Chains A and B, each alone.
Chain A
Amino acid sequence: MLSYILRRIGLALVITVLAVTTLFVIIHAIPGDPVSTMLGPRASEDMRAALEQRMGLDRPLPVQIALFFGNMLRGDLGTDVFSNRAVTEIVLGQIPYTLVLILASIAWSAVLGIALGCYSAVRRNSLGDRLTGILSVSVIAVPAFVVSLYSLLIFAVRLQWFPAIGAGDTGDILDQLHHLVLPSLAIGLSWVGYIARLVRASMLEVLGEGHIRTARAFGLPERRVILGYALRLAILPTVTVIGVGMGFLLSAAVFIEIVFSRPGLGSLVIDSIMQRNYPVVMGSVLFSTLIFVASTTLADIVNAILDPRIRSGK
């Protein structure tokens, strides 16, 4: 088990290095440069050169990348072109908002989706199963921004049940939760349908396997057969999908944070791209990448804990 985890973390590190390098190259290929942005069009050549040197932009690209990694290991992602604050500090200030939003979205949608998927598989072809199926497919088809706009109109503007913008007062947990409801509804809704379909399919497959017949032939209570024996296996593909789905969740969060004017990585990325604030763009994209790599790694590790065949490599 330990060796599996170590191997998987090693792989994650390699992926991170490759991803960061690629990002670095891409960002530097984007037209527009931070020096002109900062100094304005009338800056003298000397001033430009001085700033380029300070930011390391005068060095060859490979050196810049190496320096970037070196600094990264020390937690230094450079400074904001405009405010001169450390990028790490800026990004870390925003990340909790996004993480909470993503985790809340996936948590409620996974719980509901798994329950619905189980129900559908066990009551296959019943009215409930059909209804769940139709609803699932419908919510999968609706994009998060549509849900967010309509939920804003209905629940925030019309009914005024939930606040429309912001993330709530710092320190007031209830207020923050209250602010979390609509955004996580918008992000999670299509996931409920998706997870329900996925769990239903894998449950049906597992329920047809021989070991389930064995469990029943030994008179195990049906609850135990479904939850302890079938779901244990049927959940594996869902864990992987959620891990990989982190990428989609992050991009959905970008939209949602803007619609609901929530602080977070999304707003930060968009703002800094608009301003060509390279260090901040790089920093926030880097952290998004880290979140993504970490979540896929975590999904694999959870799967290995749930499935002994994976950790033994068979």
Chain B
Amino acid sequence: MTVLDIQGLSVSYGTPRGELRALRDVSLSVPERKIVGIVGESGCGKSTLISAIIRLMAPNARVRSGTVRFNGQDLLALPEARMRGLRGTEISMVFQDPMQTHNPVLTVGRQMIDIQYRDKRSKADKLKRAAEMLALVGIPDARARLNQYPFEFSGGMRQRIAIAMALMARPSLLIADEPTTALDATLEVQIIKRLRELQDEIGCSILFISHHLGVIAELCDEVVVMYAGEVVEAGSVRDVFHHPAHPYTRALLECDPGHIKEKTRNLPTIPGNIPDLVSLPGGCIFADRCPQRHDACTEHPVMSEASAGHRAACHLIKAGAPA
């Protein structure tokens, strides 16, 4: 069963310079009980993608085409009230910056009670449930800490609280937008471990966005590589990381000296720049920076199978010359 299935999604932003085509023909799917990672440079459209999934987009954003199917129903076609009904119950989010995630003037307990507003249970029951969740993500003395305000917690603690809140309703899909980027490496490892355990216990799927190749390798079953608003490669973590089929993925992995295992916390930098999303060049979007560019590359490559379940958008695949 596929929990989330995105097909041909294109999203644009209206800007003074013209239409900024942030996502173009993006397709990906998240199978049941699997963790799918999305990796790509800053600005490649990761946040745009998830804001389109939960339909909390910037006012100047517009979905041009595509479908986002969640357990079979197209989210983009749902009435707003039904969509809101899914948020926080079936689909939950953890955001990047834990210092910004919580309302600064309400206690953590109050916020955790508020998000259970659909439940008819008593306030005491809701508090109990909140404390249990906090204990689950490893916050000691959870009951007492519910009376505290966000500023009384460290960044790592706040991200744990965010995870506890997101998992409290036992959603079938958790979307995490770079949840550990703002934390230090030790904390990152702890939180990733706990996330994996909880995912296993709750049995949800996770769409996990990260800059950190090591974390993706550690946590995810499948990975989707994005570049400048397009999916350039997708497959199992093993296939993609060990036999990268797209020159962009290869460049990322080559730049990462310890090859996944080391603590390269930021995505390695590759010479050259992302193309301007307002006036896109024709042909392959990676052509400007690609060491293997050739004549065929003036034509836009489509996703094709490098091996079973492993696809990439590069003319080299059809030429039968993966590295």
**Which of B91-99, B214-222, B310-318 is found at the contact surface with chain A?**
B91-99
Interface contact B149-A308, CB-CB below 8 Å: yes
How far apart are the CA atoms of A217 and B118 in the complex, in Å? 14
**Binding-face segment, A45-53, A96-104, A206-214, A288-296:** A206-214
Is A224 touching B101 in the complex (CB atoms < 8 A)? Answer: no
Q: A214-B95, A224-B114 are in contact. Are A219 and B100 (CB under 8 A)?
A: no
In the assembled complex, the Cα of A308 lies from the Cα of B147 at a distance in Å of 12
B18 sits at the interface (CB 8 A) = no
What B residues does A209 contact at CB under 8 A?
100
* Chain A, interface residues (CB within 8 Å), range: 20 to 34
Chain A residues contacting B165 (CB-CB under 8 Å) are 218
Q: Given the known A-B contacts A210-B95, A218-B115, A219-B86, are A229 and B151 also in contact in the complex, defined by CB atoms under 8 Å? A: no
Evaluate contact between A314 and B105: CB separation under 8 angstroms: no
Note all chain B residues with C-beta closer than 8 A to A210: 95, 97, 100-101
* Min C-beta distance of B59 to chain A, whole Å: 8
Please determine whether B103 and A229 come into contact, CB atoms closer than 8 angstroms. Answer: yes
| Residue in A closest to B110 when the chains form the complex, CB atoms | A228
Cβ of B151 and Cβ of A308 under 8 Å apart? yes
Cβ of B95: which chain A residues have Cβ within 8 Å of it? 210, 213-214, 217
Kindly state the separation between the CA atoms of A201 and B85 in the bound complex, as whole angstroms: 30
Given contacts A220-B115, A224-B114, A307-B105, contact A211 B92 (CB under 8 A): no
- CA distance in complex: A224, B113 (Å): 13
Task: Tell me whether A219 and B88 are in contact (CB under 8 A).
Answer: yes
Q: How far is the CB of B167 from chain A (nearest CB, A)?
A: 12
CA distance A192 to B149 in the complex (A): 33
Evaluate contact between B114 and A220: CB separation under 8 angstroms. yes
**Residue B104 interfacial (CB < 8 Å):** yes
- Interface set, chain A 177-220, CB cutoff 8 A to B: 209-211, 213-220
Given contacts A214-B93, A219-B87, A219-B89, contact A314 B102 (CB under 8 A): no
Q: Which residues of A contact B162 (CB under 8 A)?
A: 214
Q: A229-B106, A308-B105 are in contact. Are A218 and B87 (CB under 8 A)?
A: yes
CB closest chain-A residue, reference B80: A222
Task: Indicate whether A306 reaches chain B with its CB closer than 8 angstroms.
Answer: yes
How far is A214 from B51 in the complex, measured between Cα atoms in Å? 12
B25 to chain A, nearest CB (A): 26
Minimal beta-carbon separation of B305 from chain A (angstroms): 35
Q: How far is the CA of A218 from the CA of B167 in the complex (A)?
A: 11
Across the two chains, which residue of chain A brings its CB closest to B116? Answer: A218
CA distance A69 to B105 in the complex (A): 41
**Neighbouring B residues of A214 by C-beta, 8 Å:** 93, 95, 101-103, 162
A220 to B85, alpha carbons, bound, how many Å? 9
Known contacts A213-B56, A216-B56; is-contact A309 B84 (Cβ 8 Å) = no
C-alpha spacing A229/B152, complex, angstroms: 19
Q: Tell which of A216, A220, A309 touches B151, judged by Cβ atoms closer than 8 Å.
A: A309
With a cutoff of 8 Å between Cβ atoms, the chain B residues found around residue A130 in the complex are: none
Among B111-156, those with CB < 8 Å from A are: 114-115, 117-118, 149, 151-152
Cβ–Cβ < 8 Å partners of A38 in chain B: none
Interface flags for A136-175 (1: CB within 8 Å of B; 0: not) read 0000000000000000000000000000000000000000
CB-CB under 8 A from A228, the residues of chain B are 114
Q: Is A23 an interface residue (CB 8 A)?
A: no
Q: Are A218 and B105 in contact (CB under 8 A)?
A: no
A-side binding surface: helix, strand, loop or mixed?
helix
**How many angstroms from the CA of A218 to the CA of B86 in the assembled complex?**
9
CB distance from B149 to the nearest CB of A (A): 4
A215 proximity list for chain B (CB < 8 A): 103, 114
The CB with the most chain B CB atoms within 10 A, among A219, A307, A312, is that of: A219
Residues from chain A with Cβ under 8 Å of B54 in the complex: 217
A6 to B177, CA, bound (A): 44
How near does chain A come to B51, taking the closest CB pair, in angstroms? Answer: 9
With A308-B151, A314-B151 as known contacts, state yes or no: A219 contacts B105, CB within 8 Å. Answer: no
Q: Which of A223-252 contact B (CB under 8 A)?
A: 224, 228-229, 232-233
Complex CA gap A252/B299 in Å reads: 73
What is the CA–CA distance of A221 and B100 in the complex, to the nearest angstrom? Answer: 20
Chain B residues whose CB sits within 8 angstroms of the CB of A218 once the complex forms: 87-88, 92, 114-115, 165
Q: Which residues of B contact A229 (CB under 8 A)?
A: 103, 106
Q: Are B105 and A217 in contact (CB under 8 A)?
A: no
- State which residues 163-194 of B face A: CB under 8 Å: 165
Instruction: Tell me which residues across on chain B come within 8 A of A221, comparing CB atoms.
Output: 84, 117
Q: Are A217 and B89 in contact (CB under 8 A)?
A: no
Cross-chain contact B151 with A211 (CB below 8 angstroms): no
Shortest Cβ distance from A192 into chain B, in angstroms?
26
- Is A220 within 8 A of B117, CB to CB? yes
Rounded to whole angstroms, the CA-CA distance of A1 and B137 in the bound complex is 30
Shortest B307–chain A CB gap in Å is 36
Nearest A residue to B117 via CB reads A220
| Cα–Cα, bound, A217→B105 (Å) | 19
Q: Which A residues are in CB contact (< 8 Å) with B105?
A: 232-233, 306-309
Q: Check A233/B85 contact, CB under 8 A, given A214-B93, A214-B95, A314-B151.
A: no
Q: Show the binding face of A for B, using Cβ within 8 Å.
A: 209-211, 213-221, 224, 228-229, 232-233, 306-309, 312, 314
Binding site for A on B (CB under 8 A): 54, 56, 84-89, 92-93, 95, 97, 100-106, 114-115, 117-118, 149, 151-152, 162, 165
Report 12 cross-chain contacts, Cβ distance below 8 Å, ordered by A residue: A211-B101, A211-B103, A214-B95, A217-B56, A217-B95, A218-B87, A218-B114, A219-B89, A220-B114, A307-B105, A309-B151, A314-B151
Given contacts A209-B100, A210-B95, A218-B114, 18 further A-B contacts (CB under 8 A): A210-B101, A211-B100, A211-B103, A213-B56, A213-B95, A215-B103, A216-B56, A217-B95, A218-B165, A219-B86, A221-B117, A228-B114, A232-B103, A232-B105, A232-B106, A308-B149, A309-B105, A312-B151
